[in-house]
């Protein structure tokens, strides 16, 4: 990595190991222009030739009469609204008269080792040794506005983290109508791109979708107050023809957990503008004189090794420079969660019976899910009343947790801190704490309202309740849930002018509460969750090393969910459990082993009533837990390769692989989705091995038998593939261990 300023040509080279991002300042006005992003360029004094200012219509200082044509064609680093660039702007600001026009010029810059933190927001981090940052100090004197653009690079990772900081240096309040995190103006008429995004719904999160980019705007967004089940705040531009292993891909991920927009716009000149940031539809911000607004961070990742190269880059960045938890590099305890086992119908005795049986089979933690507090016997009450229900748990948490600990298990607990039930003591005391529009009855979802955690007194009260519970017993894990979107956007405490700030203030409030939690309980294993995987994003990974992927625990449904999640997020962050069959979400019957292999590709655990399982299945748990302990270091830390996708091959089979950093070991999981007659074997390409070595192959088939397939050279395995017999039947699976000899 390196960041260099060429004074003579007024250009900046921001380089990572295998990519280069180049900026040049336009003569005269010192506008920050984008030159190139992708493969590293050779001669750096070419850069100024590449900036499109030397051709008609020239910069306004040279050719005033065509200022608008210039503005609408220039490749801006941070385009502003109102001045003649008619594409999507990154920044829109209204002055004291309510008019909107911004023009930013670069005044100075800094190149620093390390990376500054973002106030109140999650962001990637690094030391002076493994990070470097460029800051472009820009200003608009007429508006009295200063904008700093940040670009950070990381040792050994082809990522650039960016954000903007906006300061009011004038003497009237400015209204920010839009402040995106970054813009990438890509002048790549040499090739066509596809737009890749993660689409879904409840229980069907993050399915990969790929469409050709067309003229106009293609976007993903959320206005739900959270990232959403429907669209994730990630998108990629992949050159047409790029696949898992080859071709250029530009990934873009927003480190944020609220309303967002990520958009690619193909314009009249076939250039692409790729932007991301807080969704302006539900956002405005009053910026008083002297005040500063910090946008969330967004990360660009360039790969010329297809989608696998992009995924590996994101995984590495999140694992080394975003996740902070002390659990980050450790195997997580194998847990058993009682949600799908009991729903709300449990008591101390039931939980202990699960814990007793779990202890016999190597399970290491019991997680008590929803239903332990207030009067909560169904989802119709008590959110906010974070007091133990002594009817269900006589003797309180201490008795239960002590007993669970005595059995040798850790104990974890579920909370939904951001919510309030209309039927709760909390609501009866503070009806104005629910987010609502004056004079309107707020809409319910799952019979609950959202707490106005933009208010400090609300955060303080809820956090104090949480803390008290956590201090009352030896609780080592928390599942932080959030089960409905935000609507009826009104806060009793925000003025008319500030009403548009609620959605972002809500997210900042939630971050502040999670920050307090991880600071006060540094050893806690925190798992975020939102009605399954509605808030699975890089922002939440800053607080919790793992996030519940989906309420759909069916192993076959999970294939697409986990494939999409792994496109951006490391397997170590994907909450995955084994549940009973027929599956409670879709009624499917899937072999226990396949359910195990799919859950192994995440944090691993159980979500079932172990006390009512057959002895045959219970015996399989011991073997699965042993397998988890054997394979988890590789799954957690290895380089991830997608080999095959049932989404792409007509529901035939899915296969993925993890390769150890030193390439001495690899693990391939193959799941047959729908089997077909008369196809007796298939060649499976094994990726990422050391080409100079050979590997011993051991296949665990769906019957639990291990078959040695001899020693194969990496060149054969990568070039021709491993010849494998097809698993017999639908939903069968194979686990293939490769060990270098």
Using CB under 6 A as the criterion, which residues of the chain lie in contact with ligand GLA when the complex forms?
339, 369-370, 414, 481, 483, 529, 531-532, 548, 551
Closest CA to 384 of 474, 459, 484: 459
Distance CA 51, CA 54 (A): 7
Distance CA 463, CA 531 (A): 21
Nearer to ligand GLA by Cβ, of 361 and 376: the residue is: 376
Tokens coding 267: 């314009």
Is 99 within 8 Å of 187 (Cβ atoms)?
Answer: no
Of the CA atoms within 13 Å of residue 9, those in its CB half-sphere come to 21
Query: Phi first, then psi: what are they for 234, rounded to 5°?
Result: -130, 145
Q: Are strands 449-450 and 297-303 parallel, antiparallel or unpaired?
A: unpaired
Is 288 within 8 Å of 92 (Cβ atoms)?
Answer: no
Distance between alpha carbon 476 and the CA centroid of its chain, in Å?
24
- To ligand GLA, the closest distance from the beta carbon of 206 in angstroms equals 15
Name beta bridge partners: 6: 11
Nearer to ligand GLA by Cβ, of 5 and 202: the residue is: 202
Q: Are strands 20-25 and 32-38 parallel, antiparallel or unpaired?
A: antiparallel
Of the CA atoms within 13 Å of residue 618, those in its CB half-sphere come to 14
Q: Which of 551, 552, 639, 654 is catalytic?
A: 551
- To ligand GLA, the closest distance from the beta carbon of 482 in angstroms equals 9
Q: Please enumerate in sequence order all residues whose Cβ is within 8 A of that of 681, keeping only pairs 6 or more positions apart, or say none.
A: 723, 724, 725, 726
- To ligand GLA, the closest distance from the beta carbon of 202 in angstroms equals 9
Nearer to ligand GLA by Cβ, of 370 and 501: the residue is: 370
Is there a catalytic annotation at residue 654? no
Nearer to ligand GLA by Cβ, of 274 and 339: the residue is: 339
Is 565 within 8 Å of 594 (Cβ atoms)?
Answer: no
- To ligand GLA, the closest distance from the beta carbon of 529 in angstroms equals 5
Q: Which residue is nearest to ligand GLA (CB)?
A: 370
Is there a catalytic annotation at residue 85? no
- To ligand GLA, the closest distance from the beta carbon of 339 in angstroms equals 5
Rg for the chain, CA atoms, rounded: 27
Q: Please enumerate in sequence order all residues whose Cβ is within 8 A of that of 725, keeping only pairs 6 or more positions apart, or say none.
A: 680, 681, 701
- To ligand GLA, the closest distance from the beta carbon of 642 in angstroms equals 26
Nearer to ligand GLA by Cβ, of 506 and 548: the residue is: 548
Q: What share of the chain is helix, strand, coil (3-state, %, to 5)?
A: 25, 35, 45
- To ligand GLA, the closest distance from the beta carbon of 343 in angstroms equals 8
Q: How many CB atoms lie within 10 A of CB 706?
A: 10
Distance CA 612, CA 705 (A): 26
- To ligand GLA, the closest distance from the beta carbon of 489 in angstroms equals 23
Closest CA to 231 of 274, 193, 279: 279
Query: Three-state SS for 112?
Result: strand
Distance CA 477, CA 410 (A): 8
Nearer to ligand GLA by Cβ, of 531 and 602: the residue is: 531
Q: Please enumerate in sequence order all residues whose Cβ is within 8 A of that of 31, keeping only pairs 6 or more positions apart, or say none.
A: 25, 59, 74, 76, 104, 105, 106
Nearer to ligand GLA by Cβ, of 30 and 424: the residue is: 424
Nearer to ligand GLA by Cβ, of 302 and 414: the residue is: 414
The answer to whether the Cα torsion of 117, 120, 121, 122 is positive or negative is positive
Please identify which residue in the block is written with the tokens 């000899």: 741
Residue 209 burial by Cβ neighbours in a 10 Å radius (0-12, 13-18, 19+) = middle
Q: Which of 85, 140, 194, 481 is catalytic?
A: 481
- To ligand GLA, the closest distance from the beta carbon of 532 in angstroms equals 5
Inter-helix orientation angle 592-600/615-637, to 10°: 20
- To ligand GLA, the closest distance from the beta carbon of 531 in angstroms equals 5
Nearer to ligand GLA by Cβ, of 74 and 414: the residue is: 414
Nearer to ligand GLA by Cβ, of 282 and 424: the residue is: 424
Distance CA 576, CA 594 (A): 13
- Supply the residues annotated as catalytic: 481, 551
């Amino acid at each position: 990595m390196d960041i260099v300023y060429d004074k003579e040509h007024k250009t900046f080279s921001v380089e990572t190991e295998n990519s280069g991002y180049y900026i040049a300042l336009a003569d005269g006005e010192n506008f920050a222009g984008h030159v190139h992003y992708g493969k590293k360029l050779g001669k750096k004094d070419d850069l100024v030739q590449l900036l499109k200012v030397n051709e008609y219509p020239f910069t306004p200082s040279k050719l005033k009469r065509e200022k608008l044509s210039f503005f609408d064609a220039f490749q801006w680093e941070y385009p502003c609204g109102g001045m003649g660039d008619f594409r999507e702007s990154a920044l829109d600001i209204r002055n004291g008269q309510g008019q909107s026009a911004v023009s930013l010029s670069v005044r100075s810059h800094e190149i620093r080792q390390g990376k500054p933190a973002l106030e109140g927001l999650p962001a990637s981090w690094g030391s002076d040794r493994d990070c470097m940052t460029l800051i472009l100090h820009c200003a608009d004197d007429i508006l009295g506005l200063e904008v700093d653009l940040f670009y950070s690079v990381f040792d050994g990772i082809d990522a650039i983290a960016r954000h903007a900081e906006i300061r009011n240096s004038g003497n009237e309040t400015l209204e920010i109508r839009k402040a995106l995190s970054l813009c990438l103006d890509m002048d790549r008429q040499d090739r066509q791109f596809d737009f890749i995004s993660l689409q879904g719904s409840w229980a069907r999160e993050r399915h990969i979708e790929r469409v050709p980019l067309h003229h106009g705007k293609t976007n993903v967004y959320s206005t739900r107050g959270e990232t959403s089940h429907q669209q994730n705040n990630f998108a990629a531009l992949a050159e047409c023809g790029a696949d898992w292993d080859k071709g250029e891909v530009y990934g873009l991920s927003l480190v944020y957990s609220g309303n967002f927009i990520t958009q690619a716009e193909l314009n009249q000149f076939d250039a692409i503008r790729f932007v991301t940031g807080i969704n302006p539809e539900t956002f405005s911000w009053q910026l008083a004189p002297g005040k500063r607004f910090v946008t969330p961070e967004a990360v660009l990742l360039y790969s010329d090794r297809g989608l696998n190269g992009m995924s590996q880059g994101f995984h590495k960045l999140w694992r080394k420079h975003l996740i902070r938890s002390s659990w980050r590099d450790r195997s997580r305890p194998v847990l058993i969660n009682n949600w799908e086992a009991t729903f709300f119908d449990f008591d101390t005795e039931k939980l202990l019976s699960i814990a007793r049986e779990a202890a016999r089979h190597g399970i290491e933690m019991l997680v008590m899910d929803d239903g332990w507090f207030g009067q909560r016997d169904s989802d119709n009450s008590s959110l906010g009343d974070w007091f133990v229900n002594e009817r269900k748990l006589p003797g309180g948490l201490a008795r239960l947790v002590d007993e669970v600990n005595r059995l040798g298990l850790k104990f974890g607990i579920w909370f939904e801190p951001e919510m309030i039930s209309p039927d709760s003591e909390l609501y009866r005391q503070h009806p104005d704490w629910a987010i609502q529009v004056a004079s309107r009855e707020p809409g319910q979802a799952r019979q609950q309202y959202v707490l106005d955690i933009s208010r400090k007194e609300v955060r303080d009260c809820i956090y104090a309740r949480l803390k008290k519970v956590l201090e009352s017993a030896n609780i080592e894990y928390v599942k932080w849930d959030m089960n409905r979107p935000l609507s009826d956007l009104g806060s009793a405490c925000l003025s008319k002018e500030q009403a548009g700030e609620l959605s972002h203030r809500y997210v900042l409030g939630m971050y502040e509460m999670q920050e307090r939690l991880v600071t006060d309980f540094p050893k806690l294993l925190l798992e975020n969750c939102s009605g399954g995987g509605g808030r699975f994003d890089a922002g939440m990974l800053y607080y919790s090393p793992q996030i519940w992927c989906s309420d759909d625990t069916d192993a076959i449904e999970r294939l697409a969910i986990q494939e999409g999640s792994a496109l951006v997020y490391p397997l170590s962050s994907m909450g995955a459990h084994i549940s009973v069959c027929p599956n409670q979400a879709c009624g499917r019957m899937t072999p226990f082993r396949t359910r195990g292999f799919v859950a192994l590709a995440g944090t691993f655990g159980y979500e079932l009533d172990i006390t009512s399982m057959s002895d045959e299945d219970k015996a399989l748990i011991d073997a699965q837990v042993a397998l988890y302990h054997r394979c988890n270091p590789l799954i957690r830390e290895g380089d991830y390769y997608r080999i095959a996708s049932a989404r792409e091959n007509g529901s035939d089979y899915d296969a993925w692989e993890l390769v150890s950093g030193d390439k001495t070991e690899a693990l391939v999981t193959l799941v047959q989705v729908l089997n077909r007659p008369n196809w007796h074997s298939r060649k499976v390409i094994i990726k990422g091995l050391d080409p100079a070595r050979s590997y011993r192959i051991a296949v665990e088939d769906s019957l639990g038998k291990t078959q040695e397939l001899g020693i194969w050279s990496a060149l054969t395995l990568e070039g021709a593939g491993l010849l494998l017999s097809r698993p017999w039947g639908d939903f069968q699976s194979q686990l293939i261990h490769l060990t270098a000899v």
